[in-house]
Amino acid sequence: MRRNKKERQHLLVETIKHNPFITDEELAETFSVSVQTVRLDRLELSIPELRERIKNVAEKRFSDEVRALPLEEVIGEVIDIDLDQSAISILDITAEHVFKRNKIARGHHLFAQANSLAVAVINDELALTARAGIVFTRPVKQGERVIAKAKVKSLDKNDRTLVEVNSYVGQELVFKGEFEMFRSTTAEKEELE
């Protein structure tokens, strides 16, 4: 259904307010217009691009919550976090993340996204990776969006936190890791004993 500009822009504002993580491509499809039209509408309405919207939402919602490292040091954009429970981040793979020859993402970027999310989910002043077991299940290409989901699995006998991180492109698993995290409270408890 074709809408006039004023109606389309009103719906665009409402749609982005409801889902700040919607892409320009998805908006174009929703409103049956070109991506360029969506970008012009956003510009006219002073609505930032997706990356800025994600950053703004994350800063408002999580900057006071994340304790183990500053939010801006997490690789990717944190879109959800529940300390000592779970967290989610998004990383759009761009030219800076890939090998020039084949446009495949360098593994250290996927590892960094997962590892920094495992640190961020820890509810402590200091969290360090003590050990990690990782598996890359398929190459990630330039232009793909990687969604990393961290879940705190357990505390072992040494009070270390075990965090599982699975990363997806769409519904497809591309990376999985298990991170044993050392917490500063562990060091404090050891000093008292």
Q: Where in the chain are the domains? A: 5-47, 60-192
Per-residue confidence (pLDDT) for residue 74, from 0 to 100: 83
**In this structure, are residues 123 and 83 in contact, taking their beta carbons and an 8 Å threshold?**
yes
Taking only the tens place, the pLDDT of each residue in 124-174 is 888 899 999 999 999 999 999 999 999 999 876 567 899 999 999 999 999
Per-residue confidence (pLDDT) for residue 148, from 0 to 100: 96
- Asked, colleague to colleague, whether 5-47 and 60-192 share their fold, the answer is no
Q: What is the CATH number of domain 5-47?
A: 1.10.10.10
Q: Say yes or no: domain 60-192 is CATH 3.30.499.10.
A: no
Distance CA 182, CA 169 (A): 29
How far is the first Cα of the chain from the last one, in angstroms, to the nearest whole number? 70
**In this structure, are residues 122 and 151 in contact, taking their beta carbons and an 8 Å threshold?**
no
Per-residue confidence (pLDDT) for residue 79, from 0 to 100: 81
Indicate whether this model's pTM tops 0.85.
no
- Choose among 51, 52, 23, 53: nearest CA to 38: 23
Long-range CB contacts (within 8 A, 24+) of 68-72: 68/119, 68/120, 68/122, 68/123, 68/124, 68/125, 68/126, 68/127, 69/116, 69/119, 69/120, 69/127, 71/120
Distance CA 81, CA 119 (A): 12
Taking only the tens place, the pLDDT of each residue in 16-60 is 888 777 888 889 999 999 999 999 998 888 887 876 766 666 555
Encoded tokens for 86: 């779970």
Q: Is 105 exposed, middle or buried (0-12, 13-18, 19+ CB in 10 A)?
A: buried
Taking only the tens place, the pLDDT of each residue in 76-113 is 988 888 888 999 999 999 999 999 999 999 999 999 99
